[in-house]
Each structure stands twice: as C-alpha cells, then as structure tokens.
A and B are shown apart, each in its own frame.
Chain A
Amino acid sequence: MDETAERLLGSASRLSRDPETEIDWEAPIGDGYGMSPEWSTLYGTPYWDELTEAQQRELTRHESASVATTGIWFELILQQMILRDVYDKPPRSAEFQWALTEIADECRHSIMFARATERMVEPAYRPRLLARELGRMFKTVATGETAYAAILVAEEVLDVMQRDWMRDRRVEPLVRTVNHIHVVEESRHMVFAREETRERLAGAGRGRRWVSALVIAIAADMIVSSMVSRQVYANVGLDAERAVREARSNEHHRSLLRTSCANLMDFLGSVGLLTPAAARVYRRTGLL
C-alpha cells in the first residue's frame, strides 16, 4: 500500500492543478452545452426531439450543474470517510500523507464545482433529502472496502462522463477545463481506492463480501439516481412529470452508462463484489 501511496504522492507533485489560478473565473461564459448532449438524460427520447436546440443546450447546462452538485455531495462524504479511516494511522506513512493529499484535492474540486455551477446557471441544486440523509448515515458508519469501493463507484461514474465532456468541442470551455482538472486528479484517487478495496477485501469471508457488495451497489444506485435533480426539468420550463418518465426509460442513457461503467464492473467482478444480489441492483440502476 505504501508503495502505491508513495508513487501517487510523486505523481501529485509532478502534476497537481490549482483551479484558483488556472481558471480565469472572470472570463465571460458563452452559450456552449453544459455537457455532451448525448449524455443528457433526455437525449434520444421523443421529448428531446421536441425541444429547440437552445432548450437542449439550456437543459444540458442545468443537468451538468446538478451532476456537479452531486459530485460535491459525495466528495464531502468521501473526505469524512477518509479522515476517519486514517485518524490513527502514523502521519509519517505515505498512505497517511496521500490520504490527506486526496482530501486537499477533493476540497479544491468542491470549491471549483461550486464556483463553476454558479457561473453556468442561476438556480442552485442539491441531492434529494433521502440521499442526503442516507449519505449522512453512510459516511458515519461505512468502513474498509465498503467505504473505498463506494468512493470508487461514485468517482468513476462521474469520471467517465467527464472524460467525454472535456474532449467535446460543443461543451462550454469552462466546463471542459473544470472536468479535465477533475479527471487528472481523480485518476490517482481511483488507483488508491482500488488498491485499498483490494487490500481490505483480502481474506474477507463470503458473508462479509456479500454484505459489502450489496451495500456498495445500493450506494451506487443512490448516487446515480441523484445525479440529475427533477428540479432541473422544471427550471428549464419542461413538464417535469413527463421528463422524469421519459428519462427513466431512456435506453440510450442506460446504454451509455453501461458502456462507460464496463471497466468499473470488471473491477468489482475481479474482487468478488459482483455477487448475484449486487448484480441485480446494478442492472436495475443501469450500470450492468
């Protein structure tokens, strides 16, 4: 573990990015998409086709802001879980120092996301109350592989979307830069989370694996379903009922999620966290 952590610390010193200085926060915002339109929860539905291009653009900006807000939410959860996990670890160890580096990264990311959403759209979004309360509980009790694999799932789902958005020339430049900063630093966090998950699971019995796998899957479901608030649709002047209904049965979106999360599912499978019960949850969520 310390070897991985040392390498990651080295990597962070080679390239860490400071959104404070790297992004010109005063630069005017254009009218680009907030995310790749294909990633919109409505893309491919009849409702999407009824919208004008300007409405589609506006919708993606709100969806992107909502996703970023969800990102802030689980970055807060994550910071608290990591802090609890390393509380009594020796401060001189690379693992300890890397953990604090990661917290510092997440802290900067959350501020960056908050500022970017403020620049992009008027209304503020928050995950729904149930998700917030479950998150409150989760961050207090989750330990070991449950904590790290949940971190991994959350970060990876966000990461795969952002990899597309950052490369997409239709997307607003501010969003592209913010996403790239996040993707670079997240790549290290995910390596760490995988390593921790593997290590914590070594020697875990079937019962514990079964419970952990299910808890992680439920956490993933909560995260994915919280990404885009239903408030988004109302705020861009859509029929929220209809939008939610069409988004829920949007096979294009599910296929995109499934494709993007293939590596994640592969990892969970390789460490034995894709039990039949967990797999059922992932299928329902649209990740498998």
Chain B
Amino acid sequence: MSYVISGECCSDASCVAVCPMNSIHPSPGEPGFGAGVSLFIDPRTCIDCGACADICPVDAAQPADQAAPEDVERNAAYFAEREPLEATDLDSWEPPAYQVWGDGPRRVLVVGAGPAGMYATRELLLRTTAEVTLVDRLDQVGGLVRFGVAPDHPRTKQIIDTFERIVGHSRVRWLPGTDSTSLTTGYDAVVHAVGARRSRRLGISGEDSACTAEDFVAWYNGRPGATLPVQLTGPRAVVVGNGNVALDVARLLLSDEDQLRQMDVSPDVRRVLAASGIKEVVLLGRRGPETAAYTETALQELLAAAGDRVELRFHARPTSWTSEGLTLESGDTIAAGNLFTAIGFEGQAVDGLPFDADRGIVPNVRGAVVGRPGHYVAGWIKRGARGGIGVNKACAQETVTTLVSSSRAAASPGS
C-alpha cells in the first residue's frame, strides 16, 4: 500500500518536506513544479507512513485503498518512466537551503489577504521579527480561495483555516475591509499581493452582454456585492476558454438540483442555477487541445459529472455575439442563450507602482518592484495569473527572501 495525491492537490509542497523517503515529486526546484497543479507520490518507495496526509492543508493525500482508482493510476503513471530514488542514499536528496539572518524589517504592510498575501505574511513571521499589518478590501481572509474556488471543491477551501490562524498571530495587525492607499507610509516595506481577478476580454462585438468568469464566479461564491449581470437562458450556453475556471463554469451550469444541494452555495444561487434551463454547454477553445490549460483531473471531473452534455470544440475563434448566438471565424453560428468568457485573468495597475500592461503585472526582480525601493509584489500581480494556490508559497518565499536581504538598504517606501 502507499499514499496517493488527488487532483485537488494545492502544490504548496508541505508534504515534500515531511516525506522521509523522498517519494513526492516534482519537488520545488525540479522541472514541472509549479507548472502542473499536482504533486505525485512514488508508489515504489512510499512506506505508507502517512506523514504527507497529516500535513496536507487540503486533505489531498490519501491512503491508496481509500482513494479514487484514477488518482492511484495518475500517481503511478507519473513515475512510470522515472527511476525510483533510493531514499537511503542521502546524496540523491537535495541539500538543505538556509537563509542567513539579516536584521530584517521592523514594520511591514501586506496588501491583500488572498493566498499570496497570507503566505507572504507567514514567511515574514517565520523569517523576521517584523510586525505585519495586513489589509484587504474584503472583510475576510482567503481572497480567491474563498471567492474563486468552485463550491463543489470544499477541501481546497480548508486552507482558509490555516490563513485564519496566521491572522491570529500576535505580531499581525489585521485590518479587514480597509483601503490600503491611506496606509503606505511608516513602513519599512510594502508587499502588494493584490492578485489579478479581472477577466481578460475577447475583444469581439457584443461581448458586453456576455458574462465574464470574474462576475459569474464571484456571484456563485457569494462575494460581497457580486450580482449576476445576465439572465440565464437555456438550453445551451457557450463557455469560451480552456482553463480550469472555464471547466468550473461549465460544471456549475450543468449541475442538477441534487448536485447543487451538496454544494456550499446560497439558496438564491441554487435556485437561479436550477431554474436556468441550461442543458448543454459548448466549451470553446480558440486553439488546439494541445494548448488547453485545464488539468486532466478537472476535465475528468467535468466529463464524469456531465459528459454527455458537454461539447468540446477547438480551433474555433469567435467573432461576434448576438441574441442569435456566437458567430465563429469559420462562419458557423452556435445558437446559445448565454456566452461566458473565461480566457484568463489580468492584473490591474497599482497606484504609484510601474505597470507592464502587456503582461498584466508589476515589473519586478524576484519580487522587488523595479524602480520602487521598499515595494514588493507577490502572487498573480507579480508573475501573471497562472498557477494554483500552493504555488504562492514558493512565490512568497522568494519575495520575502528578497525583502529581507534588501530591507536594510531600503529607505522608507513612502518617501
């Protein structure tokens, strides 16, 4: 027997650090880490000790005999072409990496209590003696974990418990529902972890009457102030996009009343979705399946839930959206009542910081904002809207390392 990691893996790699047999890969630094969303356990060397499951913040590591057969297979398949690592040969392990103590900052402001901001706060608490002020526009920690992860993935949301404990630390001053602009003076450093939640636009005519993933996801997750900007009209909807968010949208649209009842959604959301009359979804990829950004597990999940009602179409470029439906470059029109766009997210410029509009990020070197000493970025606003929740941990570690090693030289960031 061994343990296996399911598709709900958050890739924060806590498990890699506690595995006494070096059985979990790709580990941070190895090719593939951060690119895919899942880590895998080598069944040939796993000794079934359970240390990974104990530490996993989203309960994705499970004993093989309790896991889904697909998960067992996926874990084994990842290692099929790889030689097993001999754990007792300690030279096959990565040597430990240490950070030298460097006095560190005294007061740090972290803007944004989503995963990137929370991991950055945690790193600051661990690696420095700084007092951290954490602000968020919303009243709760979690950001996109709370308001972006689909409501039928409750295990992923468990990581919020960890975030809430970080907020309770005695060196953290947590200011919920606060606008950061009034606060940027008086700190040794500011970490901007504001994310990138605005949906990218397709740039076709009629797009204004479509629904963006940003609006739809915020609505079904009950983000304060979010409303559904369109009326749901069956029987067919088109979702443009090939990422996991597009698959989430399709899955939610096709969930029947029974499935909706299992989810953590408000009665209002449940009623609107159940009454939508949407019976089939066309998932549109503007390029081929080889460039699709969804993960295999997310696709399997969608097909398992509503395989007979989902049509995957690739190489289909939309040109206009009207009440008739979606017209493609080929001249075809897909008759549909709703168009959803889920082609990725982009960051917005942050007041007072430079902005790279092409990439939708604040230009930075390992987290340090270019030309603005004392200012740092973490998460999607730093590296673009890619990568799952746990990837933010390594990202925040890099930013905090940069911050700690340069903070002695930095002037007050407000000046």
A271 to chain B, nearest CB (A): 11
A163 to chain B: which residues have CB within 8 Å? 17, 96
A242 to chain B, nearest CB (A): 19
B327 to chain A, nearest CB (A): 52
Contact with B along A254-275 (1 / 0, CB 8 A): 0110110011001101100010
How many angstroms from the CA of A279 to the CA of B18 in the assembled complex?
24
B51 interface residue, CB < 8 Å from A? yes
Decide: B127 and A191 in contact? CB cutoff 8 A. Answer: no
Kindly specify which of A24-32, A63-71, A110-118, A166-174 makes contact with the partner chain. Answer: A166-174
Contact with A along B367-379 (1 / 0, CB 8 A): 0000000000000
B63 to chain A: which residues have CB within 8 Å? 7
Decide: B54 and A191 in contact? CB cutoff 8 A. Answer: yes
A77 interface residue, CB < 8 Å from B? no
Decide: B96 and A164 in contact? CB cutoff 8 A. Answer: yes
Interface size classification for chain B: 35 or more
Decide: A259 and B127 in contact? CB cutoff 8 A. Answer: yes
B169 to chain A: which residues have CB within 8 Å? 288
B362 to chain A, nearest CB (A): 27
Decide: B101 and A11 in contact? CB cutoff 8 A. Answer: no
Contact partner of A7 (CB less than 8 A), chosen from B50, B91, B98, B161, is B50
A84 interface residue, CB < 8 Å from B? no
Residue of B nearest to A252 (CB): B101
Decide: B93 and A167 in contact? CB cutoff 8 A. Answer: yes
Decide: B91 and A190 in contact? CB cutoff 8 A. Answer: no
Decide: A262 and B101 in contact? CB cutoff 8 A. Answer: no
Could you tell me the dominant secondary structure of chain A's interface residues?
Answer: helix
Decide: A10 and B48 in contact? CB cutoff 8 A. Answer: yes
Decide: B47 and A255 in contact? CB cutoff 8 A. Answer: no
Contact partner of A168 (CB less than 8 A), chosen from B49, B88, B95, B99, is B95
A283 interface residue, CB < 8 Å from B? yes
A187 interface residue, CB < 8 Å from B? yes
How many angstroms from the CA of A263 to the CA of B100 in the assembled complex?
21
B168 to chain A: which residues have CB within 8 Å? 269
Decide: A44 and B100 in contact? CB cutoff 8 A. Answer: yes
A154 interface residue, CB < 8 Å from B? no
Decide: A270 and B90 in contact? CB cutoff 8 A. Answer: no
B residues sitting closer than 8 Å to A (CB atoms) are 1, 14, 17-21, 47-51, 54-55, 63, 87-88, 90-91, 93-96, 98-101, 104, 122, 125-129, 161-162, 165, 168-170
Could you list 24 examples of A-B contacts with CB < 8 Å?
A4-B50, A10-B48, A11-B47, A11-B50, A14-B47, A36-B96, A38-B98, A180-B90, A183-B20, A184-B21, A184-B87, A187-B18, A187-B49, A188-B50, A188-B51, A190-B54, A191-B50, A251-B129, A252-B101, A255-B101, A255-B127, A258-B125, A270-B165, A274-B165
Q: A167-B94, A187-B51 are in contact. List 13 more A-B contacts (CB 8 A).
A: A8-B49, A11-B49, A14-B47, A183-B20, A187-B49, A188-B50, A191-B50, A251-B101, A251-B129, A255-B99, A262-B126, A270-B165, A279-B170
**Closest CB pairs A-B (n = 7):** A252-B101, A164-B96, A38-B98, A187-B51, A11-B48, A184-B20, A269-B165
A residues sitting closer than 8 Å to B (CB atoms) are 4, 7-8, 10-11, 14-15, 36, 38, 44, 163-164, 166-169, 176-177, 180, 183-184, 186-188, 190-191, 194, 251-252, 255-256, 258-259, 262-263, 266-267, 269-270, 274, 279, 283, 288
